Amino acid sequence: MIRTSEQINELSEAFAKAQTKFGAAIKASQNPAFRSKYADLAAVIDATLEHLNAEGIGVMQHPALEFKGDLAEGREAFVCVTTRLQHKTGQWMESDVTIPAVQRDRFDAQSVGSAITYACRYALRSICTVPQADDDANEASGIGSSEKAQAVGQAKLAKAREKTSPSASAPVPALFYTEPLNHNGHFLEFINIREYLSTRQDIEDSLRLIFTTHRAKKTKDETVLVPSAELQPLLEKLVGELGLTVKKLEPASA
């Protein structure tokens, strides 16, 4: 949920001016799970903060640790980061991002620190609508041109997909989900995550983090329930960011 000051007209005008100057966040950090590069928090800050400050906008990100659940049944730890855009006039706008503080079944200073960095990066990048570009995109397409940098990145992605595209005898594996009749439309059930990961072990940690972020819960049958309200943002992560194939199956009649 977005919270704002009573008036945001001057903040909105200043933000619009700053946004026209944002560059692409350079993908210079290595993601071992995907053997690929990504734009880290520093890259997102480099692409935005100078232009925000030039228009009188400051950025503040405040982390907090939250616990949910019953002590007897086990409590879950989450990191909540509040990101605020503060204009010199006093006008402001803020929103929260909450993600699990437990990573790979660990809850310690390192897992909390990683969760804070992850939340800060995604919050700032989403608020400012910052694209990503390969670290050699400036050289290939001209410094200062985020559009051309993105074109280079898209071309490389298409080329990589051509190299890894399966043959007709080896169809692309898909994640399947259904809408169980006994949940009255409140939950969706992903039914083959375990089998899917047997073919894509390289994304296990990333897939687990994404599902957990969207309030997924594992069932006794090794399927995963996701609140129906979380489906669209979850699909944007799975399909839009990871490039996975996701299909809906109709449930069997009762």
- The full length of the chain comes to 254
Cα(51)–Cα(150) distance, rounded to whole angstroms? 20
- pLDDT number for residue 139: 37
Give me the residue spans of the domains in the chain.
3-146, 166-249
- pLDDT number for residue 204: 81
Q: Which amino acid is at 143?
A: I
Lowest-pLDDT range of 58-62, 102-106, 208-212:
102-106
CB atoms within 10 A of CB 52: 24
What is the full DSSP assignment across 143-205? Answer: TT-HHHHHHHHHHHHHHHHHHHPPPTTSPPPEEEEE--GGGTTSEEEE--HHHHHTT-GGGHH
CB atoms within 10 A of CB 11: 23
Query: In this predicted model, what pLDDT tens digit does every residue of 44-93 receive, in sequence order?
Result: 888 899 999 999 999 999 999 998 876 556 678 899 999 999 999 999 99
Fold adopted by 3-146? Enolase-like; domain 1 (3.30.390)
How confident is residue 185, by pLDDT bands cut at 50, 70 and 90?
confident
Read off the pLDDT of each residue in 9-33 and give the average, rounded to a whole number: 78
Q: Is 3 exposed, middle or buried (0-12, 13-18, 19+ CB in 10 A)?
A: exposed
Q: Half-sphere exposure of residue 30, counting CA atoms within 13 Å on the CB side?
A: 2
DSSP symbol at 241: I
Cα(184)–Cα(9) distance, rounded to whole angstroms? 42
Cα(23)–Cα(47) distance, rounded to whole angstroms? 5
DSSP symbol at 5: -
Q: Which residue has the higher pLDDT, 53 or 41?
A: 53
How confident is residue 25, by pLDDT bands cut at 50, 70 and 90?
low
- pLDDT number for residue 219: 80
Query: In this predicted model, what pLDDT tens digit does every residue of 127-173 receive, in sequence order?
Result: 998 876 655 434 333 344 445 444 544 554 455 445 444 444 445 58
